[in-house]
Amino acid sequence: MKKYNYSLLLFISFTLILQIGCTNYPVIQEPDVQMFNNTVSSDVLRDSLSFGKLTAGMPYFVVSQLFKNYSDGIKEVQIPVATVGSKQRLVEVEGWGRNYNDPNNIKVFLDKYETPKGNLYIWYERPDFYTMDVSQWDTLCVYYNDSVYCSVVNYLNKSTALTIKDSLPNLPTDTVFYGEIRYKNREWQNVTYWYKLQILSNAKTFKLGDLNYELYPIELLEFNDEPVSSFKWREVNKNEN
């Protein structure tokens, strides 16, 4: 009986090894460059995309397009987590000590992709001015018609609205803008990227428009258990071929 169990265990182990070794990974796809350029005005992010680099600051739809052929067996997406960098899924606890996680209050999500060169983790976040550490004396820059309009932040009205010092009457109130916050004192990240800003009629106050997760900015990348500044998908495809 023991000999039978041992043989069965060897067979199962060998089968698993074969399955792992023979995993066929889909080719990581190219993103829609025109869609990206219509959404993102940053030369830095556009250059990164053109060189095949996924980086922090890019909108999440780039990830969706890159891994659109990945199946559930080698990916986990939209995992709710407490903070950027956490891999612990937020779960609800039943009973008297129930801990209820309102989906509307969850701001940080994690994707995991198994690639032929290792596991890739991507954190992305529903942005607001509080969680992104925006404060007085940071600079808001808004892109419109091939021009950039910048002014210092005067104060935050709330988590989704801020007021700048100088009015910008050249910006129409019925338009959605791409913008950047350039920080005065933030060591780990000098710029954050915003994809749906609207200016109010006073020409000084900006608010965040409603976002779906496709426009959440990427906050952090980890590849093979190491934080990385970029994920070079073309190199992964080249090595797979």
200/220 same-domain check = no
Residue 206, pLDDT > 90, answer yes
Q: What is the value of pTM for the model shown?
A: 0.85
Q: What residues make up the domain containing 97?
A: 33-40+52-126+214-224+234-240
CA-based end-to-end distance of the chain: 45
pLDDT in tens, 149-179: 999 999 999 999 999 999 999 999 989 999 9
| Residue 195 · residue 215 · CB < 8 Å | yes
70/168 same-domain check = no
Listed residue (202, 209, 228, 211) closest to 53, CA to CA: 228
Query: Which range has the worst mean pLDDT, 107-111, 143-147, 186-190?
Result: 186-190
Q: Tally the domains of the chain.
A: 2
Query: Which range has the worst mean pLDDT, 19-33, 40-54, 65-79, 121-135?
Result: 19-33
Phi, psi of 43 (to 5 degrees): -65, -35
Mean pLDDT of 99-128: 88
Listed residue (35, 32, 29) closest to 178, CA to CA: 35
> What does the mean pLDDT of the chain come to?
88
Give the confidence band of 18 by pLDDT, cuts at 50, 70, 90.
Answer: very low
For the record, the structure tokens of 15 come out as 């089968």
Domain contains 88: yes
